[in-house]
Structure 1
Amino acid sequence: MASVWTDVRAVLPSTVSEFPLDFSEKIELSVLKCLELSRDQLYSEADCPVSAERAQIIVDYSWEKLNTGTWRDVDKEWRRVYSYGCLFKVLSLCHGNPSQNIIQEAIRTCDMSLLMGAAIMDNILQRLVAILRKTIKTTSPNKAERSEEPCLKKKRRDCESEPVLNPTKEVPRIHCPSLERFRLDFLGPKKPVIIEGITDHWPAFTQHPWSIDYLRTVAGCRTVPIEVGSKYTDEEWSQKLITVNDFIDRYITGTAEDGVGYLAQHQLFDQVPELKEDIRIPDYCCLGEGDEDDITINAWFGPGGTISPLHQDPQQNFLAQVVGRKYIRLYSPEETKNLYPHESQLLHNTSQVEVENPDLVKFPDFCRASYEECVLCPGDVLFIPLQHWHYVRSLELSFSVSFWWS
């Protein structure tokens, strides 16, 4: 552990004048002074640590700013202050000879910055994670334990009831269509389709087949937000922050007392670049209006039985299945009147109907709505057109990746 501080210190600018602290007048002078004192302390003498107490004050104060009002109203300046506070806290933790627990706390602090803050100093918190991860000792389950641990690629530990598909309603499949054919036959007419063969070259299927062990190796110590509950419309649904290892132990290989847990977030691939390098953005996204930076990539990882209620999204969607299988039902926007969306603004894009067990007394017109359905298998990529209603149920342990584009 003696080299941790040396490696961490090497990531910082060599002089105080190269360490930027530029903020607008929105940030109070007392906060700026606290930031400057923390920075200047680093360069006041050789091998000088940062005040842990001052760093925590910055983190706590900016955290209050982030959690006052709605997230969209939080000024990015305060998100940057929070990231600087996290940076100073990490530096205080890593000084000297930190234990494994302290290193884990430093990684968690970096992750909180990556989740809640804004990028600073050429994404320095991400670079620090890469250094700190190398010092974490990973323990693999012994042979007996590994035999109990499900392989994401092969073993169906938690199979759910199999849907019986109506052949006349199945989503069509096509193998590697040209850009022009996809545009003319599906994108333009807004028709769902399953595209086969376009993920065969992904490292997630070839070089680094995604498995429990692989996820533990590349992301086990990372802190991520998870959803607790089988679907987000349940009253008991909640969110929490835990490490990927804890998530696997609790909700995948163990029996959690607080229900079903599901990892669903768009920042996982930014947090864990190794996972992002295992996938590829579908070429068909080039037919959109934006560039690659405008594409939102989401991760969906969880056990069988997790459900995304019938809902619609404001962008085009490619849903790529990497591990396990999912049952999906789709309704066109023209069926909205038969789908009974929630009246509240918060859930106006979500149907009140339980798709596979509808209350036809309460929602009598639901049975009139025409739909398409499919079981998405590893390697399949489903095109979900803009504002198409879709319901998703994991039939087993599943890892999917979605690409939202305009």
Structure 2
Amino acid sequence: MATLWSKISAVLPVNEEQFPLHFSDKVESSVVEMLKRCRQQLYSNAASSSRMLGAQIILDFSWEKLNTGTWHHVDKEWRRVYSYGCLFKVAALCHEDPSADRIQEAVRICDMGLLMGAAILDNILQVIVGILQSEIRKSADGEDESEHAEVKRIKIDCPRVPVIKEELAVPRMKCPSLESFSTNYLLPLKPVILEGIIDHWPALNQHPWSIEYLRSVAGCRTVPVEVGSRYTDEEWSQTLLTVDEFIDRYILNKHGGKALGYLAQHQLFDQIPELKDDIRLPDYCCLGDGDEEDITVNAWFGPGGTVSPLHQDPQQNFLAQVVGSKYIRLYSPEDSDKLYPHQSQLLHNTSQVEVENPDTERFPQFAEAPYLECVLQPGEVLFIPVRHWHYVRSLELSFSVSFWWS
């Protein structure tokens, strides 16, 4: 049987000459020299400690560059340097016969490269993390059955579903034609729930998404997690956890914590291709002006009780519900003055009002703003027109996918 290192080395360039290290003059020559030294060690019998030291120097130096100023101003060259540092550290961790802990650490390093770095060598970190995951799955057969029982209890927990008055309900359409959707909803910018348009998704049939499935394809992967019930709370923060840690801490609540955690990010599907293969772009996105690669796909996974405060986005949005249900309220941008947006530039697209418990003295006009509402169920897709204000509360364990397009 091939060793782990032989599998990894098989996807590396065959020799130093075919391992490119080309950077602009924005990257100091001393850093490039260190990268070349790490490359040379990759194809030699250098000691593991020496490999590790070189890789860590690159990671520490480039990490400082990534965290200087705003992310928008970070040069892509330094993101590439960081990815090379991740590659060299993974090689150092896995070169000999690595322990389970070292393999898990190598997965974490790959994920950091995928999250913070830029693609190198035909996205080699994505290829290597797949090899490492296969290795981890081999030794993960002895799973605790009590965990499954706990998950099943969560699944059958029935949420309290709000009663939606008919006159306030978001209209529904089953598989409208492109022309019908465009004429009746897209052009006049009217919300609608689309039924039957994602029934073909593997996430709803061949590979039904669940806690068990998420663990199996992504349990060891490191992802960004939002901690707190809503991003406007003072105690809200962000952290990095493995998917397993996130599930144990915030879904199954194994550690007794009361804080809510939410996995909300746009890189999840690029980072974990198995999940990306389980979804499809809605056909109606073709009515937009941009190309397919301009569509932003977001993942939203978390327990009941998590809230997206009333806010608006600068693009059209298809919100597809895969697991669980959500209560959603929508307001027209024409009524923005009644919704009391924050004055700060950072939160100018977010209302100050707590939608389901408004302070009528501070925000007297809020009660006058007309709205539509719905409970979005698995298999349904809500069209949220550009700049329409929307408030979202998860009624139970929920996994949604949103598509932002123009």
Which bracket does the TM-score occupy, shorter chain normalised? over 0.9
Report what 2:202 is aligned to: 203
After superposition, give the CA deviation of every residue in 1:73-97 in whole Å (9 maximum; x if it has no partner). 1111111110000010001001110
Preserved contact between residue 204 and residue 210 of structure 1 (Cα < 8 Å): yes
How far has the Cα of 1:292 moved from its partner?
Answer: 1.1
How far has the Cα of 1:286 moved from its partner?
Answer: 0.5
Q: How big is the alpha-carbon RMSD for the aligned residues of Structure 1 and Structure 2?
A: 1.7
How far has the Cα of 1:18 moved from its partner?
Answer: 1.2
SS state at 1:149 partner = helix
SS state at 1:226 partner = strand
1:248-267 correspondence runs (5 A): 248-254=247-253, 256-257=256-257, 259-267=259-267
Distance 2:239 2:325 in 1: 26
Distance 1:101 1:282 in 2: 40
Q: Aligned partner of 1:331: which letter?
A: Y
Report what 1:62 is aligned to: 62
- TM-score normalised according to structure 2 size: 0.96
Report what 1:13 is aligned to: 13
After superposition, give the CA deviation of every residue in 1:142-171 in whole Å (9 maximum; x if it has no partner). 43432122477x4226x3x43232210100
Q: Please say if 1:32 is aligned against 2:68.
A: no
Q: Which runs of 5+ in 2 are unaligned?
A: none
1:174-185 correspondence runs (5 A): 174-185=173-184
Distance 1:113 1:179 in 2: 40
Q: Aligned partner of 1:166: which letter?
A: K
- TM-score normalised according to structure 1 size: 0.96
- Number of residue pairs matched by the alignment: 403
How far has the Cα of 1:46 moved from its partner?
Answer: 9.7
Preserved contact between residue 330 and residue 389 of structure 2 (Cα < 8 Å): yes
Percent pairwise identity: 67
Preserved contact between residue 151 and residue 212 of structure 1 (Cα < 8 Å): no
Q: Please say if 1:126 is aligned against 2:107.
A: no
SS state at 2:341 partner = coil
1:256-335 correspondence runs (5 A): 256-257=256-257, 259-335=259-335
Preserved contact between residue 42 and residue 88 of structure 2 (Cα < 8 Å): no
Instruction: Judge which range, 246-255 or 97-106, deviates more.
Output: 246-255
How far has the Cα of 1:15 moved from its partner?
Answer: 1.9
Preserved contact between residue 189 and residue 386 of structure 2 (Cα < 8 Å): yes
Q: Aligned partner of 2:145: which letter?
A: K
Report what 1:186 is aligned to: 185
Q: Please say if 1:162 is aligned against 2:161.
A: yes
Q: Please say if 1:145 is aligned against 2:147.
A: yes
Preserved contact between residue 326 and residue 376 of structure 2 (Cα < 8 Å): yes
Report what 2:107 is aligned to: 107
Instruction: Judge which range, 51-60 or 133-142, deviates more.
Output: 133-142
Q: Aligned partner of 1:155: which letter?
A: I
Preserved contact between residue 225 and residue 242 of structure 1 (Cα < 8 Å): yes
How far has the Cα of 1:382 moved from its partner?
Answer: 0.3
Preserved contact between residue 318 and residue 383 of structure 2 (Cα < 8 Å): yes
Distance 1:211 1:140 in 2: 19
After superposition, give the CA deviation of every residue in 1:10-47 in whole Å (9 maximum; x if it has no partner). 11111212111111010011111100111122234699
Distance 1:306 1:371 in 2: 21
SS state at 2:404 partner = strand
1:378-393 correspondence runs (5 A): 378-393=378-393
Distance 2:270 2:205 in 1: 22
Distance 2:130 2:274 in 1: 10
How far has the Cα of 1:113 moved from its partner?
Answer: 0.5
Instruction: Judge which range, 386-395 or 49-58, deviates more.
Output: 49-58
Preserved contact between residue 326 and residue 398 of structure 2 (Cα < 8 Å): yes
How far has the Cα of 1:138 moved from its partner?
Answer: 2.0
Residues 129 and 101 of structure 1: CA distance in aligned 2, closer, same or farther (over 3 Å): same
After superposition, give the CA deviation of every residue in 1:95-133 in whole Å (9 maximum; x if it has no partner). 110001000000000000000111111000000001111
After superposition, give the CA deviation of every residue in 1:319-351 in whole Å (9 maximum; x if it has no partner). 000000000000111010000000000000000
Preserved contact between residue 250 and residue 257 of structure 2 (Cα < 8 Å): no
Distance 1:321 1:60 in 2: 40
Distance 1:399 1:307 in 2: 13
Distance 1:402 1:327 in 2: 15
Distance 1:142 1:239 in 2: 29
Distance 1:347 1:37 in 2: 46
Q: Aligned partner of 1:168: which letter?
A: E
Preserved contact between residue 301 and residue 398 of structure 1 (Cα < 8 Å): yes
Preserved contact between residue 150 and residue 212 of structure 1 (Cα < 8 Å): no
After superposition, give the CA deviation of every residue in 1:195-228 in whole Å (9 maximum; x if it has no partner). 0001111111111011111110000000000000
Preserved contact between residue 169 and residue 373 of structure 2 (Cα < 8 Å): yes
1:308-387 correspondence runs (5 A): 308-387=308-387
Residues 151 and 301 of structure 1: CA distance in aligned 2, closer, same or farther (over 3 Å): farther
Q: Aligned partner of 2:156: which letter?
A: K
Distance 1:121 1:401 in 2: 30
SS state at 1:204 partner = helix
